[in-house]
Amino acid sequence: MLVYVDDLVLGAAKQIDMEWIKAALTKAFEMTDLHKLMIFLSLEITRDGSPQQLAIHKRRNIEQILERHGMNNACPISTPLEPHTRLPARTQTDGEDNQIKEVSIEAYQSAVGSILYTMLGTCLDIAYTVALVSQFNHAPQWEHWIAIKRVFRYLGATRDLGLRYGASNISGGYSNAD
């Protein structure tokens, strides 16, 4: 059972179990059964023929973000960040230099928020880049905006990717932690 404010997602191994859970909840709460789950918190859920196979992706969410930020026709790219990228912090003298291109703080923060929300759920491969660019929300520079635009280009290239889940007798977990 997943609960978010007034939205509820139920899952069970057997249909009879699902019916019992729905009946018990309907007795206790006023609720509407919308049947098969298709979208939840911008996560798009699809099934591949079998009720035990499902895929989660954010294609529509990514397309909306790219459209909102004017990047829907940008050339796709294969990585969200160039290797060994270091983004500079703003210095005291930067404001006096006329060569520095101004970046709207509001536009930058909106873009960072968009990719942050997109990362949650299915696009975990941009987590490092999101953490890096979000450090400059208070005073973004042109180099930071270029990094954000690269993430948009990457999302455009990977919009059809997602996570696939299926039933199996094998269970396990993986971690890449130090």
Within a domain: residue 171? no
Q: Tens digits of per-residue pLDDT, 36-75? A: 888 888 888 888 776 678 888 899 999 999 999 999 999 9
Which residues constitute the domain of residue 46?
2-57+161-166
**Number of domains comprising the chain:** 2
Angle at 37 between CA 33 and CA 40, to 5 degrees: 105
The set of residues, in sequence order, having a beta carbon less than 8 Å from that of 87 and lying 6+ positions away, is: 132, 133, 135, 136, 143, 144, 147
Q: Tens digits of per-residue pLDDT, 141-171? A: 999 999 999 999 999 999 988 888 877 656 6
98 lies in the same domain as 128: yes
Helix (H) or strand (E) holding 151: helix 142-158
133 lies in the same domain as 147: yes
Within a domain: residue 112? yes
